[in-house]
Structure 1
Amino acid sequence: MATKTRKSNVRRNAQPPRPRQKVQQISVMDRALRALPFSEEDIQRATTWLIIAALTVLAFAAAQWAGITTAAYLQYSEIAARAGFQVQRVEVTGMERVDQLKVYDLVLAEKDRAMPLVDIDKVRADLLQYGWIEDARVSRRLPDTLAVEIVERKPAAVWQRDGKYSLIDARGNVLENVQPGDAGTLPILNGADANQHAIALNALLDKASALKAQISGASWIGNRRWDLKFKSGETLALPEGESAAAEALLNFARMDGIHRLLGRDIIHFDLRDPERAYFRKVPKAEPVTTETSGPDSTNSGTQA
């Protein structure tokens, strides 16, 4: 009996089995969010602001489509003009060789216009269409002045092709057409599309600075190489390719420094062959014979 009583007490004291707990599954998205250095409140706040920004953009686009902002801007411009914010004066500086009439015709078109309606970017873009103008700065000087600052290009050479002459800058931009006698001391570039290779030519001549000041012009031959013309009358034929032409020019500069080739009796130097150089001298002038009159050819005078 005691054994049965003890077994019954053990059964009473034994705790019932606990139910198994389910393991909570974490999604990949939750793991990625937990890995970020932000709290859930920060992420929710950022999401809210993104939604507000998107709604604002949509509302602005809808207003633009409906013409609401344009009408409001025009009304604002009219109010500004009545308050004195209207173009009454135009100041243009920096003009020396540019056609001033063209510039003023363009800029004065903005006169009597409300300041908010002046399209500064368009005015600048229109000014840059002229060859002489390298850069233009347009600004509003409140309440009533439109200021324009012109930066002109500098002529660096004269481009000659098919009997036509044009001033160009160091980059080959055409500035204006000129007469043959208006070149002055500027070097002359001959050949079709020679102006498009002006930058490469300047870089080439910079490699032989001792010769650059003595060059009066250059001819772009066959759209592939240069012939250089010196002020003393000689012509130097260079090979094709930038590196080959630079090497030939440097070799010629060394030879001229040693032997004084320029200013002598040589009129043509041909360095197109990398193995040898060809020189052509000035042709010798044929001797000129003069006829002498004999004693019988003299007229005798009569004595009175």
Structure 2
Amino acid sequence: MARDPARAAARERLARTSVPHKDPARPSRLRIWVKRRRSLLRPAIYGALGCAALGVVVLAVRAVDPAGRVRSIAEAFGGVGEAFGLEVQHVILEGRRNTPTDMIRAALGVARGDPMLEFSPEQARARIETIAWVQQAHVERRLPGTILVRIEERRPFAIWQNNGHFVIIDREGRVVASDGLDQFGPLPLLVGTGADTTGAALHDVLRQQPEVAERVQAMVRIHERRWNLRLHNGTDVLLPENHEAVAIQRLGELQREAQLLDRPLAAIDLRLPDRLVLRPTRQAEPAEQPAQQQATRARRG
């Protein structure tokens, strides 16, 4: 049977133009590793993106409403924070020495398990700074679950006695404690109205004259105008108004030259710049003998 020339030519052209079949290329090891771990990476990526978006929204709300008046929004995001595990787990307190921890805890106003995003560091800082011992506070929120509280305390400066009451004050005269006065060690004693706010300046002047300072038992404010120094031996030193530094320097010189402060005196008056007035202590007069008593009655009779 004769071959059809046209059909044979068509088959030959088809054989020349057909693309040879190739086996699919084998995937690389990196592609296999990524494909196997894609199921593990996807939740972590979504979680990170969610936290980032949540942080942006919180910052935007805080910028628009710094006082936190949009509480419903905060509560809504608080629920989201709980879903991501953003709850209070740890509270770190730094700088505390005399401030009661229960007062700080109450002012902080947060407990373990509370939503982190509902906690306001600024409001907590303002509450903590109302505590008498606290001069300055810093409150920081560290995600996911830590709150840092750093305080700077007022330093106990002196014991202030006024109207029969004793309290601990700082250099500015602010009362920081009213009980447990002995636990702060030896402190200067200030007495009288106004001594709380003006005693620091006089104390600094006294420190420049150690011979005088070591003999002072109390600094007494007189009529809110001037000072007396009560010494350990009972002597009162009367200082001039507004010229305490000059008088105390003079007193130090008298002590170094003549041991004036060690004498049995009732008072040393330095109020006049050009003179020194000394008042001796009163000594008991000797009792009269019977013969002297009779002579005295005879003279009176």
- State TM-score, norm by structure 1: 0.64
CA distance in 2, matches of 1:170, 1:210: 23
2:188 aligned residue: 187
2:160 aligned residue: 159
8 Å Cα contact 1:270-1:279 kept in structure 2 = yes
Identity %: 27
CA distance in 1, matches of 2:200, 2:77: 49
Partner AA of 2:195 in structure 1: A
How is 1:113-132 mapped onto 2 (pairs within 5 angstroms)?
113-132=114-133
- State TM-score, norm by structure 2: 0.65
1:248 aligned residue: 247
8 Å Cα contact 2:159-2:189 kept in structure 1 = yes
Structure 1 residue 108, shift from structure 2 partner: 4.3
Against the structure 1 CA distance between its residues 273 and 68, is the aligned structure 2 distance closer, same or farther, given a 3 Å change threshold? closer
8 Å Cα contact 2:219-2:230 kept in structure 1 = yes
Q: State the secondary structure of the residue aligned to 1:186.
A: coil
Partner AA of 2:260 in structure 1: L
How is 1:16-55 mapped onto 2 (pairs within 5 angstroms)?
none
CA distance in 1, matches of 2:125, 2:231: 41
2:274 aligned residue: 275
8 Å Cα contact 2:82-2:115 kept in structure 1 = yes
Q: State the secondary structure of the residue aligned to 2:229.
A: strand
Say how many residue pairs are matched: 226
How is 1:1-304 mapped onto 2 (pairs within 5 angstroms)?
75-109=76-110, 111-178=112-179, 185-241=186-242, 244-287=243-286
CA distance in 2, matches of 1:232, 1:183: 24
CA distance in 1, matches of 2:284, 2:86: 79
8 Å Cα contact 1:92-1:149 kept in structure 2 = yes
Structure 1 residue 75, shift from structure 2 partner: 4.2
Partner AA of 1:188 in structure 2: L
Structure 1 residue 97, shift from structure 2 partner: 2.7
CA distance in 2, matches of 1:68, 1:225: 52
8 Å Cα contact 1:165-1:179 kept in structure 2 = no
8 Å Cα contact 1:158-1:183 kept in structure 2 = no
2:51 aligned residue: none
CA distance in 1, matches of 2:174, 2:114: 34
RMSD over aligned CA atoms reads 3.2
Partner AA of 2:199 in structure 1: A
CA distance in 2, matches of 1:174, 1:68: 34
CA distance in 1, matches of 2:279, 2:107: 56
